Structure 1
Amino acid sequence: MTFSKIIRGLKTVMKMEQSTKQEKALKTIKEGKAEICLKTEKVFYNPVQEFNRDLSIAVLSIFTDDYKAEKLTRAEKKISNRQNNTEGTNEVNEVPVTILEALSATGLRSIRYAKEVPNITKIVANDLSEQAVQTIRENIVSNNVQSIVETSHDDACMLMYKHKHPMKRFAAIDLDPYGCPSMFLDSAVQSVQDGGLLLVTATDMAVLAGNSPETCYCKYGAVSLKTKCCHEMALRILLQCIEQHANRYSRYIVPLLSISADFYIRVFVKIYSGAFHCKKTTSKLSMVYQCVGCDNITLQPLGGFKPNPTEKNPEQMKAYLPTVPPVSEFCVHCNQRHHLGGPIWSAPIHDEVFVSRVLSHVQDNPQLFGTGKRIEGVLSMVREELQEVPLYYTLDKLFGRVHLETMPMLVMRSAILNAGYKVSYSHASKLSIKTAAPAQVIWDIIRTWEKTHPVKAAKLEADPVSRYILRQEIKTAIDLSERGDANPTSRRDGRLRFQFNPAPHWGPGSRAAVNVGDEKISKAIRNQNKNSNKDRRAEKRGHSPQSDEDAKKKLT
């Protein structure tokens, strides 16, 4: 054996030892009460989503109590109506709570649900990748949750379709795909129990935020708009998409919590059955008119309800179609035209009582949540949001549009309160202004500010839109004096409301290397170096690629 071969062999052994050490260091993951081990890079795991998992555990902990109580109440009513004997009461005391994690990957989420969420009967951890399912099985055994968690190797949609019968439905379904979740929604809304919970994540924010409105329509059935309030609009687009899928089967949604965080959105909605309630959907959806000049948003509901004069009961409502359009050809504030987007969900996106209970649970159990401080801050803001007001303004956009020095946030909020209107932040944006005040009042505040902080004449002359806005008459009496209640409680308490990027190269991560199974390699991998491989095969046959090309030219 030569000296060079010995050196190469030693280098190979050292590399193998180093890679083994790195694998042991990187592949053991502890989160919450779970500890998992990964033996391959082909199983997807994103540490940045810990906030997502912590929040889901907090929501499910409250939901399971409500779900069991609701089911027991319904069963007792049926028994009392039928005047059955007491034998049936023993049966309804047991309410099974089954959860499906349709896209499990490592199984970390399912294991955490089994260890940290009370009242769960069974969890199904499903994935399409054989390697992922094998990893889940090993992690289930190592965490000693075999009695609660079972694995499934199946297509997520097919698995849910198999459970669409009312007796087989899940109490909760968790959908956390890589990208768009819309392909799973049709099967998901059919496979959730009446009063069950659907947890949905979407990470394709570029599509939802207006960068590709035509793609958004293909995937979600709504046209997205490029606007500063795009993160809340993304939530509302996803909610209307779920509602549309549910309505096809005489079902409808009740949003409990809708969050925009980091690079994704996450919604928690209850699913109920009822054809009558589905008729109210048109009053919960709206088209969106966006001014291309001042970015003002105007909503046009698809339908509405009013008292029926032919009915004696005043609660009997009659559906009607509203008149359109709600805007003129040119914007009254800046004299520019409009873009049309939507439809979006324009009803409330949170349940304030439910959010308060989740917040209390997180505060009472700080040891369970690694991102507890952030959850407290976000939920505190969500609880303060004006539920009856869809979308929001942003301070930088308003003042940047007219080239003015930006007003302090507390002064702007005080001016809105002094004008007699409510105001709040949105959890989706640090500079957000959510208010029911008309756009005329907002621009009057800005015009009043401009009196003491004038814009440069050169900028005003170069921009006809800002000139048109600022030269209009102030129609509202504006008071810019600060007031104490303009500072919200979450801000005064120093809550962790907005977080900086938690890691370098932070984002949704890379898609799993193999998604379908070990024996099926992705198209991108199969096609790598295909041209160079053709050349090598041609050379082995005694032909050069160049001579083959010359021969083809002569024939033609």
Structure 2
Amino acid sequence: MDTDISKENRIHIISEGLATVKTSGKVFYNAVQEFNRDLSISVLTAFVKNYKTGKQKKERSPENKEVNIVLDSTKEINSIGVSCDNGITILEALSATGLRSIRYAKEVPGIKEIIANDISQKAVEDIKHNIIDNKVEGLVTASFNDAIMLLHQHKRQNRFDAIDLDPYGCPSIFLDSAVQTVKEGGLLLVTATDMAVLAGNSPETCYSKYGSISLRIKSCHEMALRILLQCIEAHANRYGRYIEPLLSISADFYIRVFVRVFDGAHKCKYTLSKLSFVYHCTGCGSFTLQPLGVVKRSEEKKNDKFCLPTNVPVDKKCEHCGQAYHLGGPIWSAPIQDKYFINEVLNNAPKHLKTTQRIHGVLSVMLEELDDVPLYYTLEKLSGTLHVETPPMLTIRSAILNAGYKVSYTHCNKGSIKTNAPSKVIWDIMRCWVTTHPVSKKRMIEGTPVYNILSKTSEREYSFEIHPDANPSSKKKGLVRFQANPLPFWGPGTRDTAMVGEDKLSKSRRNQGKRKREISEEDVVNEKDNM
């Protein structure tokens, strides 16, 4: 991204990918989200080649069998920068500068039309100029409208193949109209930047916005993804539709999910079995999932029976440390990645993208993730609970593999341990580690989690011998798996100020030190009164 600022006209010139746009400083633009835009271009490229050519035909049936779905039998579309009659239609509901839509037009093949919408008149004026400057008039149309109203206008006819929602903060207010307006098998691209809410800092706010209780746990970033997915599914189910996640990512200061939306009132009945409550121990961080529903297969009648769980999976106190539980959720507990599609993204990703290495690294980690194991532990939390020397990650992964269980990283956390091993096995492995790396006696205070956990003995000896599969392929290849802060003072930025009367920066400078000045003035008044 290159930015040039003309002092005379106060115009920002932004170059990213194959697009160059001009905008005033008041229209929202976040350079850090270049990775977000690059990944979206990669996903849309793979989506076009699969959705419009009928290549992505594999879907899991309720019986967990693969069945064929043919969405479109048109020939493969490779043209870029021109309108294709059989191409996809895209709505970017919250466009700001229009950069994302223009990049889609110039970098994604097989597009018929893109609507770049914004509620700010100033932003729409900039979008119109940028469309002309980038010579994409035949592909991109600027729209000045409320995003929700625009979506409702298209829900009966002229639906979109892909809808991109990248708001500042929570996307939930747009989801109801978006799930109605995307075509059968179409793609929703949804971003959420209100990570404090999703990561458990304000569970009551999370429930009001997403219909789920967030928890402050080490796996909060994956839980945030699963909260967003269940929210989208809840909105879709109201209209006899359901979602299939293709790719779900936690990156930088936001999460983003790419899901397909399908029709099927009967399929909506399976939603309960895809959602779970989370019991999280406040002492040791152990967690247990409670599915909202159970699907039982009848071999005689060759159909499925939908049941409710009949027991609670935990006691009142944690079996490991004796502490109480918090209850969170519901969350999406089915797989959040489609590994077939991720491979397609890797195979079709454009080579010119600036963040290609990061995309390749992160998606490679996703391919290694266990897709049937929701949430994860962290090495930091396991060691911190016991106040013990932190073991090497390779050692702990080897112990889990040597015990006959699966283990993987997750792209959400570089210290993550995602495994199908029961929590009892994890703590037994840590007990074995403590035998050669003892805990200080002053930490052994009766009633504390460390005391309660180490008061019990491991049921067996676990081997810490290095397992050949303990080191994942992505690490061996030296891929960029976990990104450091891309810029100084990076973050979600400030909200679009194009509709605000006073420039926020000017207001910020005016208010800087205001409290101190008020106190100083108060002291002067008090001093005069005492004279």
Given the two structures, how large is their TM-score scaled by the length of structure 1?
0.84
1:142 equivalent to 2:133? Answer: yes
Which string of whole-angstrom CA distances, capped at 9 and with x for unpartnered residues, describes residues 324-352 of structure 1? 31101111111111111100000000000
Given the two structures, how large is their TM-score scaled by the length of structure 2?
0.88
Deviation of 1:128 after TM superposition, in Å, equals: 0.2
- Residue 519 of structure 2 is matched in structure 1 by none
1:187–1:454 CA distance, 2 compared to 1 (3 A): same
1-structure distance, mates of 2:210, 2:8: 40
- Residue 507 of structure 1 is matched in structure 2 by 491
1:410 equivalent to 2:394? Answer: yes
Identify the match of residue 319 of structure 1 among 270, 287, 306. 306
- Residue 528 of structure 2 is matched in structure 1 by none
Counterpart residue type for residue 243 of structure 1: E
- Residue 89 of structure 1 is matched in structure 2 by none
- Residue 446 of structure 1 is matched in structure 2 by 430
Counterpart residue type for residue 341 of structure 1: G
Deviation of 1:461 after TM superposition, in Å, equals: 2.5
1:399 equivalent to 2:389? Answer: no
- Residue 212 of structure 1 is matched in structure 2 by 202
- Residue 28 of structure 1 is matched in structure 2 by 13
Deviation of 1:521 after TM superposition, in Å, equals: 9.9
2-structure distance, mates of 1:120, 1:23: 37
Gaps of 5+ in 1: 1-18, 78-92, 530-556
Gaps of 5+ in 2: 56-68, 75-83, 512-531
Which string of whole-angstrom CA distances, capped at 9 and with x for unpartnered residues, describes residues 262-283 of structure 1? 0000000000010000000000
Which string of whole-angstrom CA distances, capped at 9 and with x for unpartnered residues, describes residues 397-435 of structure 1? 001001000010000000000000010001000100000
Q: After TM superposition, which residue ranges in structure 1, 4 or more long, deviate above 3 angstroms?
A: 19-26, 70-77, 93-96
1:54–1:409 CA distance, 2 compared to 1 (3 A): same
Deviation of 1:483 after TM superposition, in Å, equals: 1.8
1:425 equivalent to 2:414? Answer: no
2-structure distance, mates of 1:502, 1:178: 19
2-structure distance, mates of 1:321, 1:430: 36
Deviation of 1:501 after TM superposition, in Å, equals: 0.9
> Percent identity between the aligned chains?
58
Cα RMSD for the two superposed structures: 2.4
1:359 equivalent to 2:350? Answer: no
Which string of whole-angstrom CA distances, capped at 9 and with x for unpartnered residues, describes residues 21-68 of structure 1? 446797111111101111x22100000000000000000001012221
1-structure distance, mates of 2:460, 2:416: 22
Counterpart residue type for residue 500 of structure 1: A
1:75–1:113 CA distance, 2 compared to 1 (3 A): closer
Higher Cα radius of gyration: 1
Counterpart residue type for residue 69 of structure 1: T
Counterpart residue type for residue 480 of structure 2: L
Which string of whole-angstrom CA distances, capped at 9 and with x for unpartnered residues, describes residues 508-527 of structure 1? 001111348x8x999x98xx
1:241 equivalent to 2:228? Answer: no
Instruction: Pick the structure with more strand per residue.
Output: 2
- Residue 343 of structure 1 is matched in structure 2 by 330
- Residue 474 of structure 1 is matched in structure 2 by 458
1-structure distance, mates of 2:22, 2:301: 66
1:145-160 to 2 correspondence within 5 Å?
A: 145-160=136-151
Counterpart residue type for residue 28 of structure 1: I
Deviation of 1:357 after TM superposition, in Å, equals: 1.2
Counterpart residue type for residue 97 of structure 1: I
Kindly indicate whether the alpha-carbon contact (under 8 Å) linking 2:12 and 2:25 is maintained by their aligned counterparts in 1.
no
Which string of whole-angstrom CA distances, capped at 9 and with x for unpartnered residues, describes residues 233-282 of structure 1? 00000000000000000000000000000000000000001000000000
Identify the match of residue 294 of structure 1 among 284, 290, 295. 284
Kindly indicate whether the alpha-carbon contact (under 8 Å) linking 1:300 and 1:324 is maintained by their aligned counterparts in 2.
no
1:51 equivalent to 2:35? Answer: yes
- 2:396 is paired with a residue whose SS is helix
1-structure distance, mates of 2:301, 2:468: 48
Counterpart residue type for residue 458 of structure 1: K
1:362-381 to 2 correspondence within 5 Å?
A: 362=349, 365-366=350-351, 368-381=352-365
